[in-house]
């Protein structure tokens, strides 16, 4: 819970200041804000850089109270100057955005927006884009919006894949040497969930204490390994595998129910599933 400090309370991008008569609003930035945006020297369309200024200006005009707006405009200008933007361009773009924002709106049939994606090839692409835009404006009641695409600095295949044991929101399968198996779900990293399943003595391949009470376990996998010496002696984290990955919590719950109903793992027969499945009409579809 965020608490008010010095009569101010941040909420998303808005900093709300309480005064005796009214609330004042301004832009809130976290203390870790780096002031880094798209550099002026980056290989990107000039229009994209100017649109970035307009975007931050629009946010300021929509959020800031009139008494806080001037200070925010100075901050925006300083931020872009620190990113190498020409002062004349920044000042002109800010003035232009303020004038357009305060200008009386013209009512009438709006032009239909049409989007055209072109590869950014540097300044040589601009004359072609201008001709296409001019032709579309004169021939049709359309507002052509050209979007430039740039290639990523590094191809996606160079990105290292996340190891299986570090993935989260997954349905996992554990198979024993005795052909028993177990299906479970976890929203945590798989390595964390494995550590919760398996007693430490088994993971370290140490002798199991005679007292079961010393092994705090509420896991079918852990209990099975403590009872079955053959499976315990041959235990390996590699026996865990990922069957499916989920997009969100509800998806994870449904996937678990489907997999358990389809595979019918021997150690999950008493599982109380969070979601019942109308596709299956037997004891496997029990509901809490």
> Cα–Cα distances in Å, from 141 out to 74, 137, 144?
38, 7, 10
Q: Give the per-residue pLDDT at 286.
A: 41
If one compares 267 and 189, the residue with the highest pLDDT of the two is: 189
Task: Name which of 193, 192, 229, 197 is nearest 215 in CA terms.
Answer: 197
Binning pLDDT at 50, 70 and 90, where does residue 224 land? confident
Segment 98-120, tens digit of pLDDT? 888 888 776 767 777 888 888 88
pTM over 0.75: no
264 torsion bin: left (phi>0), alpha (psi -120 to 50), beta (else): left
Which 3-state string (H, E, C) describes 39-84?
Answer: CCCCCCCHHHHHHHHHHHHHHHHHHCCHHHHHHHHHHHHHHHHHCC
- If you average pLDDT over every residue of the chain, what do you get? 81
What spatial distance separates the first Cα and last Cα of the chain, rounded to whole Å?
Answer: 32
What values do phi and psi take at 26, rounded to 5? -150, 180
Share of the chain above pLDDT 70, in %: 86
Given a cut of 80, is residue 252 above it in pLDDT?
A: yes
């Amino acid at each position: 819970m965020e608490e008010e400090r010095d009569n101010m309370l941040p909420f998303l991008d808005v900093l709300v200041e309480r005064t005796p008569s009214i609330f004042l609003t301004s832009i809130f930035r976290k203390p870790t804000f780096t002031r880094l945006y798209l550099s002026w020297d980056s290989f990107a369309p000039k229009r994209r850089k100017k649109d970035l200024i307009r975007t931050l200006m629009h946010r300021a005009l929509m959020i800031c109270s009139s008494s806080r707006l001037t200070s925010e405009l100075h901050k925006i200008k300083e931020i872009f100057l620190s990113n190498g933007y020409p002062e004349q361009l920044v000042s002109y773009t800010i003035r232009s955005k303020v004038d357009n924002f305060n200008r009386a709106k013209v009512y009438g049939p709006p032009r239909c927006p049409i989007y055209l994606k072109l590869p950014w090839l540097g300044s040589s692409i601009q004359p072609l884009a201008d001709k296409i835009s001019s032709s579309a404006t004169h021939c049709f009641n359309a507002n052509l919006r050209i979007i430039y695409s740039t290639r990523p600095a590094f191809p996606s295949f160079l990105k290292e894949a996340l190891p299986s044991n570090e993935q989260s929101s997954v349905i996992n399968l554990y198979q024993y040497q005795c052909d028993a198996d177990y299906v479970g779900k976890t929203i945590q990293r798989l390595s964390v969930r494995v550590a919760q399943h398996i007693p430490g003595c088994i993971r370290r391949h140490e002798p199991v204490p005679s007292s079961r009470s010393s092994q705090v376990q509420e896991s079918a996998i852990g209990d099975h390994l403590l009872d079955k010496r053959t499976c315990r002696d041959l235990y390996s984290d590699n026996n865990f595998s990922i069957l499916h990955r989920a997009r969100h919590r509800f998806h994870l719950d449904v996937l678990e129910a489907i997999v358990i109903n389809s595979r019918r793992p021997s150690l999950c027969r008493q599982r109380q599933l969070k979601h019942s499945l109308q596709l299956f009409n037997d004891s496997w579809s029990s509901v809490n």
